[in-house]
């Protein structure tokens, strides 16, 4: 089946970008995969590499076509180069833009001044170029931008989906939800959201902001087609998410490292649900002139609950994991109220993949196949939010 729509996948070499590109190509869309491979450079600088060997994007695109017959067109360039971005939009006139192409790590953004500066520059200005390209092209293109639940912080009230109805001195208004980010990375996402909201209203754009929780998982239906179609999976302190890191630690016999009290609560979802959420957003476009916001997650866990769940499943499989509470390198509330709302995507038909035993056992087995590649020295890399 062929769908007469063109999708730009920005950041197509990444953990989410590559599975998304394959997913929409198999659905029949014309997929343009865009990347500048900056994350590979960040990995080299930090002495970090994904757990699974990851082929070049060129090889993966070629192999995917060989296996499935579906074509993905590759474009290489930097979103901070406005000429590249404008040419990209002029050449392909996309119906949908799925924007993952940002520096994705809070720890990376907190390493030092240059990392914070780079994160803000790369993320905010690249996104701004995309918005101006949409204005320049002036068609019905729908921007689906990956935000973060971390933009909200941990307020002592329920977290609504992007907006909050306020009554003040007898008057009411629907206002953007107050944001309290906890890193320069999450702050860059807040700037993105503000710029998108402003441009959407000003120029009559069609936009969706997906405030995504922590993503976990090692595979999607498409990555399982061949080992060389794997996506990047990180367990290190800089790019590895908590659940992925805990699972890797359990397999190699490294203590599951919980920061501080371990009571921090995180919203989470499986990588296959990311694909499902993005597809729902594509198939149900936002209205023109108002930035739609979805809180994209399926479950919430404290870090202690998460570690204990992984420990229990790992023990069933013969591993002997332990849990260690370590000094928290971050400046954050360690014991807090956390009740985010997520209604928009379920109303569109989201069917969650919950963190059940089989999901975890499959992850642990996959990690075990590559455990000889684990470098335990990158699990804690001494990235601290404040000076000692």
pLDDT of residue 139: 82
Tallying the residues shown for the chain, one arrives at 388
**Structural domain contains residue 384:** no
Distances (CA, A) of 247 to 216, 308, 371: 10, 11, 11
pLDDT of residue 374: 97
pLDDT of residue 382: 87
Residue 128 to residue 195: CA distance in whole angstroms:
7
CATH number at residue 24: 3.40.50.720
What are φ and ψ of residue 313, in 5° steps?
Answer: -70, -40
Residue 212 to residue 306: CA distance in whole angstroms:
18
**Structural domain contains residue 369:** yes
DSSP helix/strand/coil, 285:
coil
Distances (CA, A) of 36 to 57, 80, 127, 288, 349: 11, 10, 14, 30, 34
**Structural domain contains residue 94:** yes
Residue 384 to residue 388: CA distance in whole angstroms:
8
pLDDT of residue 388: 63
Residues of the chain scoring pLDDT < 70: 388
What are φ and ψ of residue 294, in 5° steps?
Answer: -120, 135
User: Which secondary-structure segment (H or E) carries 269?
Assistant: strand 265-270
DSSP for residue 123: I
Number of domains in the chain: 1
**Structural domain contains residue 225:** yes
Beta strands in 6-52 (DSSP E): 6-10, 30-35
Q: Output the pTM of the full model.
A: 0.97
**Structural domain contains residue 388:** no
**Structural domain contains residue 345:** yes
Q: What is the CB neighbour count within 10 angstroms for residue 186?
A: 21
Residue 373 lies in domain: 6-378
From the CA atom positions of the chain, what is the Rg in Å?
Answer: 20
pLDDT of residue 172: 98
Among 301, 145, 120, which Cα is nearest to 212's?
Answer: 145
What is the DSSP pairing of strand 214-216 with strand 256-259?
unpaired
**Structural domain contains residue 86:** yes
Q: What is the CB neighbour count within 10 angstroms for residue 68?
A: 16
What are φ and ψ of residue 353, in 5° steps?
Answer: -100, 100
DSSP helix/strand/coil, 71:
coil
**Structural domain contains residue 292:** yes
């Amino acid at each position: 089946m062929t769908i007469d729509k063109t999708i730009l996948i920005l950041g197509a070499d990444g953990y989410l970008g590559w599975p998304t590109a394959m997913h929409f190509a198999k659905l029949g869309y014309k997929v343009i995969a865009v990347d500048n491979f900056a994350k590979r450079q960040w990995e080299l600088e930090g002495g970090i590499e994904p757990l699974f060997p990851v082929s070049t994007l060129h090889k993966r695109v070629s192999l995917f076509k060989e296996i499935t017959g579906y074509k993905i067109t590759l474009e290489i360039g930097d979103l901070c180069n406005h000429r590249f971005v404008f040419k990209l939009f002029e050449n392909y006139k996309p119906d949908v833009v799925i924007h993952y192409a940002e520096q994705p790590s809070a720890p990376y953004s907190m390493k030092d001044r240059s990392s914070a500066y780079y994160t803000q520059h790369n993320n905010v200005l690249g996104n701004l170029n995309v918005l101006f390209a949409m204005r320049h092209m002036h068609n019905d293109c729908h921007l689906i931008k990956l935000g973060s639940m971390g933009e909200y912080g941990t307020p002592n009230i329920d977290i609504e989906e992007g907006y909050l109805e306020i009554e003040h001195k007898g008057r009411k208004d629907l206002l953007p939800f107050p944001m309290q980010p906890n890193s320069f990375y999450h702050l860059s996402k807040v700037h993105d959201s503000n710029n998108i909201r402003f441009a959407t209203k000003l120029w009559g754009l069609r936009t969706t902001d997906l405030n995504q929780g922590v993503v976990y998982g090692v595979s999607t239906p498409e990555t399982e087609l061949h080992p060389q179609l794997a996506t990047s999976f990180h367990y290190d302190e800089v790019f590895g998410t908590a659940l992925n890191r805990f699972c890797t630690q359990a397999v190699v016999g490294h203590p599951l490292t919980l920061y501080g009290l371990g009571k921090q609560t995180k919203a989470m979802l499986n990588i296959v649900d990311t694909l499902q959420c993005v597809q729902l957003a594509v198939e149900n476009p936002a209205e023109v002139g108002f930035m739609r916001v979805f809180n994209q997650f399926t479950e919430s866990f404290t870090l202690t609950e998460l570690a204990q769940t992984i420990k229990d499943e790992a023990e069933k499989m013969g591993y002997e994991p332990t849990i260690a509470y370590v000094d928290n390198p971050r400046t954050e509330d360690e014991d807090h109220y956390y009740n985010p709302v997520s209604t928009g995507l379920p109303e569109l038909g989201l069917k969650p993949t919950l963190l059940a035993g089989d999901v975890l056992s499959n992850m642990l087995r996959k990690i075990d196949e590559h455990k000889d590649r684990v470098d335990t020295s990158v699990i804690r890399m001494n990235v601290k939010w404040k000076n000692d």
